[in-house]
Amino acid sequence: MSLIVYIAVMAVVTYLIRMIPFAFFRKKITSRFFRSFLYYIPYAVLSAMTIPAIFYSTGNLVTSVAGTVVAVILAYFDLPLIVVALSASAAAFIFGLF
């Protein structure tokens, strides 16, 4: 199978998954239950993606936990996304030096 066919198939399938609901769902949802569901979905998706994966994200439990703790504290005090994200990485790096 030619490489370009593989890449094209991957790209088309991935695009359609994103495009169909985004382009063709035009109505405002009126069901209170469904609206509530969609309200919670972003937080639930991010939480499920982050935990427990964040503890494996640097390949080392100690540095991952150090980065996580720093991120949780800074996020709790409403610091900007980029500050939280880079501080987590810096903490993981510093703990990795020991």
Ranges within 53-92 binding another protein (CB under 8 A):
53-54, 57-60, 63-64, 67-68, 70-72, 74-76, 78-82, 84-90, 92
Q: Does 30 bind another protein (CB under 8 A)?
A: no
Q: How far is the CB of 94 from another protein (least distance, A)?
A: 9
Rounded CA-CA distance 61/95 in Å is: 11
Q: How far is the CB of 78 from another protein (least distance, A)?
A: 5
Q: Note whether 29 and 38 are within 8 A (CB).
A: yes
∠ CA 9-49-73 to the nearest 5 degrees?
145
Q: Does 32 bind another protein (CB under 8 A)?
A: yes
Token pair listed for 14:
């991935």
Q: How far is the CB of 97 from another protein (least distance, A)?
A: 7
Rounded CA-CA distance 86/71 in Å is: 9
Binding residues for another protein, total number by CB under 8 A? 76
